[in-house]
Chains A and B, each alone.
Chain A
Amino acid sequence: MLEEILVSVRSNPHIDPVMSVWGWEISVYLFLGGLAAGIMFFSALMLLLNKDDEAPFSVNGLALLGPVVLSLGMTTLFLDLSHKLFVWRFYTTFEPTSPMSYGAWILILFYPVGILQILSTLRKGYPYVANLVNDIPPVAGLLDLVERYQRLIAWLAIPIAVALGIYTGILLSAFSARPFWNTGLLGPLFLVSGLSTGAALTALIARQHSERRLLTRIDAGLIVVELLVVALLLINLTTGSKPQLDAAAMLMGGSYTGWFWVVFVALGLLVPLALEYFEIRGSASSILMLAPVLVLVGGYVLRVIAVDLGQETTWINYQNEFNTQLLDRLH
């Protein structure tokens, strides 16, 4: 028997009794970051594949959502900071050992390319806006210019989208102190999940039948890949060392079992995959909206599980004899 108890007080907020320094702000940010990556990826990919007729919204309208979604994510990221006035410190340095530093700079790269994407497709995607600004001479010239480099911009967008999507996973996987996160599979998992949610959102918004069909087919493929990565992650955890086995136990009968298997794997991956399969075969058009909504919910639940469960996994666990609620009575 080994019993380790704290005999002095330790009740540092959000660290004791269980680490919870990162809350919904980080889950939402990781979800929206992945979604923005998916949006940028498919808007660029469809343009490069000349899918103008088959998928007009993806090629011309989708890019507008990228900076909007990312800005929402960066807002919740900012809300998480506990020393907010010093947020500019991210951009006075580059720390080569810190994934978060890479992320901060990737986020900054996203905006100029995202805005160029929007401008280069503005006349086709948002003709009302284009007509409004077209009378201003420099704007018309600018739109002409960016339209000429439309494909180059799309080629720039692809690596930035992939970098953003995979970074949201690498951010967590680089923490050796948190056994659940400490696997390289988290990068690919978050990337493929981000792309999948991007495809789902596009399928949800697109009006044209051919476009929905195309994105549904892509999303079904992505869900299959995501299921494979999830399986690899579980194999990695369940065959790992003690701290990883403890993390795996939380998914295999522990407190996150229901959320992981029922909400994420079943409702977030398997059910939409089945719905999309029937949809592709043309036998389930009436429940068209449900599959992408479930994919989006599943994507968010994955981030919540990863952020919350990961923080609970640790190398050291002490029992705290001290009842932190007693502190309130001091006042």
Chain B
Amino acid sequence: MAHYAMVIDTKLCIGCCDCVVACKTENKVPEGLNRDWVVEATQGTYPNLKTEFRSERCNHCSHATCVYMCPTGASHHWNGTNIVLVDPNKCTGCKACIAACPYDARLIMHPGGYIDKCTFCHHRVEKGLDPACVSTCPTHCMHFGLLDDPSSNVSELLRTREHKVLAPETGNEPNVYYLI
């Protein structure tokens, strides 16, 4: 089973939000909806402040509670990978997956009504390309690849750099990593 991960270097990210624009353009995300977003986290007390920029999206969890909660099998792991997709032809719009996501990463597609989310651009991954957000990043702070390949860029970065994931205590085993 292919285990994909995204690794984002918070030391290089400048919070320009190009990843957000790239996603909207590539995936034709309707106005008013977002599959990814950028968070600015500031910690400390003046003058000892530390700022971190994080480009966030669906974490394509290995233990994906949204997939487990879906009553129709519309939310699923794509082709045995950890990429979580929604099949609009199976989705009833019951919104259980939205409530099941601890990262609030899912959204109701309008005007369609089915549930939409980040796909890790699986249509590009299929062709050997990086997701749109990764390939557009002007500071090259975003990386994408296979964790089960020890020689991959993402494996190398996680081996050599200090990193974290968001809210690991949820038990969802998220696969978007942040280098800190």
Residues of A that sit less than 8 Å from B by CB: 1-16, 19, 21-22, 80-84, 86-87, 89-90, 92-93, 95, 97-101, 103-104, 174-178, 311, 314-316, 318, 327, 330
Q: Are A12 and B113 in contact (CB under 8 A)?
A: no
Given A89-B72, A98-B68, decide whether A3 and B42 contact each other with a Cβ distance below 8 A: yes
- Give the docked Cα–Cα distance between A14 and B98 (Å): 10
Question: Given A13-B32, A21-B95, A316-B102, is A176 in contact with B170 using a C-beta cutoff of 8 Å?
Answer: yes
CB-CB < 8 A to A80: which residues of B? 94-95
Which listed residue (A9, A15, A98) contacts B98, Cβ 8 A?
A15
Q: How many A-B residue pairs have CB under 8 A?
A: 162
Cβ of B151 within 8 Å of any chain A Cβ, yes or no, is no
Q: How large is the interface on B (under 10, 10 to 19, 20 to 34, 35 or more residues)?
A: 35 or more
- B: which residues have CB within 8 A of A? 15, 17, 20, 31-34, 36-45, 53, 65, 67-74, 88-96, 98-104, 106-108, 110, 112-115, 166-167, 169-171
Q: Which residues of A contact B104 (CB under 8 A)?
A: 15-16, 19, 314, 316
Are B171 and A83 neighbours in the complex by a CB distance under 8 Å? Answer: no
With A and B bound together, what is the CA distance between A11 and B92 in angstroms?
22
Say yes or no: A95 contacts B73, CB within 8 Å: yes
CB distance from A330 to the nearest CB of B (A): 7
Question: Which of A21, A87, A103, A327 contacts B32 (CB under 8 A)?
Answer: A327
A315 and B167: CB pair below 8 A? Answer: yes
Please give me the 8 A-B residue pairs with the lowest Cβ-Cβ distance, nearest first: A82-B93, A83-B93, A100-B71, A177-B102, A82-B113, A12-B107, A97-B68, A101-B71
Taken together as a complex, chains A and B put the C-alpha atoms of A98 and B76 apart, in Å, by 13
Partner of B93, one of A4, A84, A93: A84
B114 touches which of A82, A314, A330 (Cβ 8 Å): A82
Chain B residue numbers with a CB within 8 Å of A11 are 32, 34
B41 engages A95 (CB within 8 Å): no
Give Cα A10 to B44, complex, Å: 25
Given A97-B68, A177-B170; 9 other pairs, CB 8 A cutoff: A7-B39, A11-B34, A83-B115, A86-B114, A98-B68, A103-B71, A176-B65, A315-B167, A315-B170
| A–B pairs, 8, beta carbons within 8 Å | A1-B45, A4-B41, A12-B108, A13-B110, A93-B72, A175-B69, A176-B170, A330-B31
Write out the residue numbers on chain B whose beta carbons fall within 8 Å of the beta carbon of A101.
71-72
Knowing A1-B44, A98-B70 touch, does A83 contact B65 (C-beta < 8 A)? no
Q: How far is the CB of B133 from chain A (nearest CB, A)?
A: 11
Tell me, in angstroms, the Cα distance from A27 to B107 when the chains sit together: 21
Q: How far is the CA of A86 from the CA of B74 in the complex (A)?
A: 11
> Does more than half of chain A's interface fall in helix, strand or loop, or is it mixed?
loop
For the complex, what is the distance from the CA of A177 to the CA of B89, rounded to whole Å?
25
Is the beta-carbon distance between B166 and A316 smaller than 8 angstroms?
yes
Closest approach, in angstroms, between the C-beta of B95 and any C-beta of chain A?
Answer: 4
Complex-state Cα separation, A4 to B95, whole angstroms: 26
In the complex, what residues of A have CB within 8 A of residue B115's CB? 83
Contact (A86, B41) CB under 8 Å given A8-B20, A95-B70, A314-B104: no
Residues of B within 8 A of A330 (CB): 31
CA distance A22 to B96 in the complex (A): 9
Contact A83 B92 (CB under 8 A): yes
- A15 surroundings in chain B (CB, below 8 A): 98, 104, 106-108
Q: Which residue of A lies closest to B72 (CB)?
A: A89
Contact B65 A177 (CB under 8 A): yes
Does the CB pair A6–B170 fall under 8 Å? Answer: no
- Contact A175–B99 (Cβ < 8 Å): yes
Q: Which of B65, B74, B96, B106 has the most CB of A within 10 A?
A: B96
- Bound-complex Cα distance A178 to B66 (A): 12
Distance in angstroms from B40 CB to nearest chain A CB is 5
Asked, given contacts A82-B95, A86-B92, whether A7 binds B170 with beta carbons under 8 Å apart, the answer is no
CA A12 – CA B98 in complex, angstroms? 11
Bound complex: CA A175 to CA B114 (Å):
20
Neighbouring A residues of B92 by C-beta, 8 Å: 81, 83-84, 86-87, 89-90
